[in-house]
Structure formats: C-alpha cells, structure tokens
Chains A and B, each alone.
Chain A
Amino acid sequence: MTARPLTLSSSYLATVRGTHELHRLIAEGKEDSPEAEAIRDASDGAWEALSETERNRARWVAEDLYSLYEEPPAKQEMTREAQAGLNEAYEARERGEWDRALGLLRTWRAYIDPSLLSYLRGTIWLEAGDPATAALFFQHAHRLNPENESYRAMYVQALNLSKTASH
C-alpha cells in the first residue's frame, strides 16, 4: 500500500487550528479566558460538520497536543512487547495508516523518549497532510533535544509548509 495523505476537510482543519490556539491558552493558564471562550464559540460550527471519523481524529490530536506542556508518563524500561508495538507503529506509518500509527505511539509512549515521541508524531502529521500540527510536535522535539539537527530541520520544514498551506 502506498502512503497517501489524509483528505482533511476545511471543517476539520478549522477545528484543529482552533485546537492549536486553545492549547496555547490552556498552557498559559487561560482556559477560562474570554479568548478561550471565543475559540470554543467559533469552533462549534466546524465541529458539527465533522464526520465521526474526523471527530475522533480531532479529539485524539487534541489529546496528543497536551504532551507539549504536560509532564510525560513515567519512563518505562523497554520490553519486547513495547518494541514490537513501536515497530508496528513504524510499519503503520510506512503504510500510511496514520490514525493507527498515532494510536500505537500513544499506547507505547512511556517506552520512548518524549522528544522522539514528538518527532515521530510530527513525521506522521507531516506525511498525513497537516504540517501545522507537525510543526508543533517538531518544535517540541527540538525544544527537548536542541542538539538533534533533524528535529530542528523538520521543524523549519513543517513550519514553512504550514505557512504555504495557509496562504
């Protein structure tokens, strides 16, 4: 199977753009602010237009984005089962099974470094067709591990692509 980007509807992209903004406010402790309420108000219409698949995807993106500013789960020693799960995530990504790859990363996230987790999430979203979400994850990976040149390069690439996509 050839990996293909997702078909992301305008309503889905509007929902996720609101999610990015709302996460920024929540991270700043402004979850109850008028700006946060304005984002919630503005997002209702797009939410109603989403399919159930898109709603699930939007919820999971929102959940994964909490990792940008919350404490990661306690690191676990790698096990054979976890390694198999992570291999499965890589394979799912190669096949373009984006939601499945993200789900597997979620399941086994405690077994990998948070910077690598964000990097992998970024690669998935970049290939799945959402460079703005990818940029947030790459930026996080770069912040956690500024020595890694790949993280920085991918962040810049995703950022540029997201700017191009929004024009």
Chain B
Amino acid sequence: MPRVFRVMRKEPDSLPTIGDRHLGVRPGIDVDVDAQNNVQVNGKGMSVAPNWRDINHKRIPGRLRPILPGAMGSNSKFCFRYGDGPFVQGALASGLTLEPDSPTHGNVAPAQVVPLATYQGDIAATRSDWVEDET
C-alpha cells in the first residue's frame, strides 16, 4: 500500500485522534456528500502527502524548524506515516484508495460511493497502522 503522511493530533496511546481535522474528513470541504449522505467518488478525500516535508509548512509543527525551516504548525500536532509503498493511485486500505493529484499531494478517497459514516469508519479503521514519523 502507498506510503502517505498526514499531520494530526495524537491520543495517549500515541495513535492519531479520530476527527474531521485529524484522522478524518470535513464533509462538504474535503469530500462531496449527496442528498442521501453518500460520499462521492471524485478524487476528493483526506489530504495526504508522500513525505511530511511536502505538506504546507503552516501545518508542520514549529518544533521541526531545525529540520524544516519555516514550519509554523501547532506543536500539539504530529507527523504520522501510513504504509510503505510508492505514492501512486491504488488501494490504500479496505474501502479506501489513494488518489494523487500531484507528485507531492493526494487524497485518501472512498473506493466506491458509500455512506459518509462508512467512509469515516474505513478511515478510522486505519488508526492502528499510523506511526509517528518526523525523521
């Protein structure tokens, strides 16, 4: 499965917080939802990058400035890694695909049209496979 990075809060178990700004999506912003509350398959989804250094510098925790100058993100967030394969279109996890839209950015999208709760559940199910990685 592709290797992806995302900046998120973490819980005491050192795994990412489940939530629309963390491990999750903001309906209507990150994904399009129809009148039946189904998530559309149109390339949109949870934003990820092939390396944390590619992420908007305003999101990278400020404590990482010695590694990435100009980091301006909250120090209450952490860079997490998931997967270990190339950053290419394809299956990421059950019900999820990676949809790269540039060499430095992609979205974790639903593999098919599903209810929003199903999609959110599929994303949440990946929680235990995210690893903090700020190297």
Chain A residues near B (Cβ < 8 Å): 18-19, 22-23, 26, 31-32, 36-37, 39-40, 43-44, 47-48, 55, 58-63, 66
Q: Contact flags (1/0) for B48-84 with A, using CB distance below 8 Å? A: 0000000011110010010011111111100000000
CB neighbours of B58 from chain A (8 A): 18-19, 22, 39-40, 43, 47, 62
Which of A18, A37, A40, A58 touches B70 (beta carbons < 8 Å)? Answer: A58
B79-135: which residues lie under 8 A (CB-CB) from chain A? 101-102, 104-105
Asked if B72 and A22 sit within 8 Å, CB to CB, the answer is yes
Known: A32-B76, A40-B56. A59 touches B68 (CB 8 A): yes
Asked if A37 and B21 sit within 8 Å, CB to CB, the answer is yes
* A140 CB to nearest chain B CB (Å): 17
Q: Is B40 an interface residue (CB 8 A)?
A: no
Chain B residues near A (Cβ < 8 Å): 21, 47, 56-59, 62, 65, 68-76, 101-102, 104-105
Asked if A36 and B74 sit within 8 Å, CB to CB, the answer is yes
Q: Which B-chain residue is minimally distant from A23 (CB atoms)?
A: B72
Q: Which B-chain residue is minimally distant from A49 (CB atoms)?
A: B102
Asked if A58 and B57 sit within 8 Å, CB to CB, the answer is yes
Asked if B70 and A62 sit within 8 Å, CB to CB, the answer is yes
Docked CA distance A48–B55 (Å): 9
Which of B69, B76, B105 touches A48 (beta carbons < 8 Å)? Answer: B105
Docked CA distance A18–B57 (Å): 11
Q: Lowest 8 A-B CB distances belong to which pairs?
A: A59-B70, A62-B70, A63-B69, A47-B56, A63-B70, A40-B58, A59-B57, A32-B74
Which of A26, A44, A55, A60 touches B72 (beta carbons < 8 Å)? Answer: A26
* B103 CB to nearest chain A CB (Å): 10
* B8 CB to nearest chain A CB (Å): 13
Docked CA distance A156–B120 (Å): 52
* B21 CB to nearest chain A CB (Å): 7
Docked CA distance A61–B58 (Å): 12
Docked CA distance A63–B69 (Å): 6
Q: Which A-chain residue is minimally distant from B68 (CB atoms)?
A: A59
Which of A23, A26, A31, A43 touches B56 (beta carbons < 8 Å)? Answer: A43
Docked CA distance A3–B53 (Å): 31
Docked CA distance A66–B72 (Å): 10
Docked CA distance A63–B70 (Å): 4
Which of B70, B102, B104 touches A61 (beta carbons < 8 Å)? Answer: B70
Q: Jot down 18 A-B pairs with beta carbons below 8 A, ordered by A.
A: A18-B58, A19-B58, A22-B58, A22-B72, A26-B62, A31-B62, A31-B75, A32-B76, A40-B58, A40-B59, A44-B56, A47-B57, A48-B104, A55-B57, A59-B69, A62-B69, A63-B65, A66-B65
CB neighbours of A48 from chain B (8 A): 56, 101-102, 104-105
